[in-house]
A = this chain, B = another copy of it.
Amino acid sequence: AAAAGVAKLADATNSMFLLFAGALIFQMQLGFALLVTGAVRNKSAASVMLLHVVAPCVVGLCYFLFGFAMAFGSTPDANNPVIGSTFWALQPRDAFDSFSGSVSLALVWFQFTFATICATILLGAVSERATFVASIFSMVVVGGLAFPTVSHWLWSEYGWLSYGKLSGRLFGSGAFDLAGSGVVHVTGGAAALIAVILVGPRVGRYDEATRDSFSAHNVTLVCQGTFVLWAGFVVFNSSSVMVITESFVAAGRCLINTLLAGCTGGLTMLAISRLVSSHYSVLDVMNGVLAGLVGICSSCSIVLPYSAILTGSVCSLIFFFCEKAMLRFQIDDPVSAASLHLGAGIGGLLLTGFTAYPPYLRDAFPGRDSYPGGLFYGGDAPGALLGAQVVATISIIALVCLLLTPVLLGLKLCGVLVYSEEEQLMGADEAIHGGAAYNFNAEETSADLLTTW
> Could you list which residues of chain A lie within 8 angstroms of chain B, going by C-beta atoms?
1-3, 5-6, 8-13, 15-17, 19-20, 22-24, 26-27, 29-30, 33-34, 37, 41-43, 45-47, 49-50, 52-54, 56-58, 60-61, 64, 89-90, 93, 97, 102-106, 108-109, 112, 132, 213, 215-221, 223-224, 226-228, 230-231, 234-235, 238, 244-246, 248-249, 251-253, 255-256, 259-260, 262-264, 266-267, 270, 277, 279-282, 285-286, 289, 304-305, 425-427, 429-430, 432-446, 449-453
Contacts and interface: CB of A to CB of B under 8 A. Distances in A.
Interface centre among A29, A253, A270 (most CB of B within 10 A): A270
Contacts of A3: 1-2, 5
Contact of A106 (B2, B46, B252): B252
A257 to B, nearest CB: 9
Contacts of A255: 19, 22, 105-106, 108-109
Given A244-B16, A305-B64, A451-B443, A102 B436 contact: no
Contact of A439 (B217, B281, B442): B217
A434 B224 contact: no
Given A244-B12, A430-B445, A451-B443, A264 B61 contact: yes
5 contacts: A49-B219, A60-B262, A218-B439, A220-B437, A279-B434
A274 to B, nearest CB: 10
A266 B57 contact: yes
A104 B249 CA distance: 8
A252 B107 CA distance: 8
B53 A223 contact: yes
A62 B299 CA distance: 22
Contacts of A2: 2-3, 5-6
A235 B23 contact: yes
Given A46-B223, A56-B230, A213-B441, 8 more contacts: A6-B6, A19-B255, A53-B223, A57-B270, A217-B438, A426-B445, A427-B445, A438-B440
A134 B357 CA distance: 39
A102 B250 CA distance: 10
Given A19-B238, A219-B49, A33 B305 contact: no
A53 B286 contact: yes
Nearest to A438: B453
Nearest to A250: B105
Given A27-B231, A285-B54, A444-B425, A103 B252 contact: yes
Contact of A53 (B60, B89, B109, B266): B266
Contacts of A285: 50, 53-54
A386 B440 CA distance: 47
